[in-house]
Structure 1
Amino acid sequence: MQKIREFLELRAFGVCTAIGDRLGIASSRIRMWFIYISFLTMGSPVVIYMILAFWINMKNYILAGRRNPLRHL
């Protein structure tokens, strides 16, 4: 159970952390609001979460390629 929790904290919550860093809000507060809104709207924010996770992952992938000038040598 501990390994699952660590995986989720490191991987799945990257969206909440990125939003929190950008807005200057604690990521734990964003996670709680996401949970509340998910319960109230029967889980529809999960789709938005997945889209944001994909977007952040692609952005990091693209930027990682640009930051390494030795990669193209």
Structure 2
Amino acid sequence: MGLITNIRHFFEKHGFEVSSRLADRLGMRTTSVRLFFIYISFFTVGLWFGVYLTLAFLFRLKDKVYTKRSSVFDL
């Protein structure tokens, strides 16, 4: 087998062990723990994307409201 396949098998074996050990410690099913991590990762990415869009909108609004005018005749 190739090096990439060995690395993939190593991370699959030890990566899935983390959620199963956590589920055993909490007394839950392993599937529930994995689904929780998937949902929380989507939530956190979506949350920060929403914050980014809100800030972009507010900065654009600020630029429209507070424009620097060099003289009185620029109104």
Relative contact order (alpha carbons < 8 A, sep ≥ 6): 1 or 2 greater?
Answer: 1
TM-score by length of 1: 0.44
TM-score by length of 2: 0.43
Larger radius of gyration, structure 1 or 2? 2
